Amino acid sequence: MKQIRNTQAKTEILNLFDKTENALSHSEIQERLDGLCNRVTIYRVLERLEKEGEIHKIVNVDGVINYAKCHHCEKDRHSHNHLHFNCEKCKHVTCIENIVPQIKLPENFIAHSYNFVISGICPKCKSLATN
């Protein structure tokens, strides 16, 4: 496997996120890059992109970590405490950014982030089932 510079891998991974509406798992990213870089490079780039406020992590209902493009985040402050929808059929994870659940924790609890994942059937799979 040809080794490529991390910056080239970063560019290609960002391009993947720009071209998809769904969150991507590490294995989906590796498959779509089609041998462009190895799995360790992908992990490093994903970690760097998360630190830079470009992407955020989502743990789906199966425990798989997915990554999605940040739209309103900054390098030092992620603001992705929105809903995520995990389709039970196609397994796609979608950010639903216009819904932000309000949480009221008991006294003396401090939340830094949270992850809401709703499991169900996405519109695409629903329409396939009715046809």
Annotated binding site for Zn(2+): 87, 90, 122, 125
Alpha carbon 8 to chain centroid, angstroms: 20
**Annotated binding residues:** 87, 90, 122, 125
Residues 6+ apart with CB under 8 A from 91: 60, 62
Pairing status of strand 93-96 against strand 83-87 = antiparallel
Comparing CA positions, the residue from 47, 73, 57, 52 lying closest to residue 117 is 57
87: left (phi over 0), alpha (psi -120 to 50) or beta: beta
How far CA 16 is from CA of 12, 64, 105, 115, in Å, comes to 6, 19, 37, 23
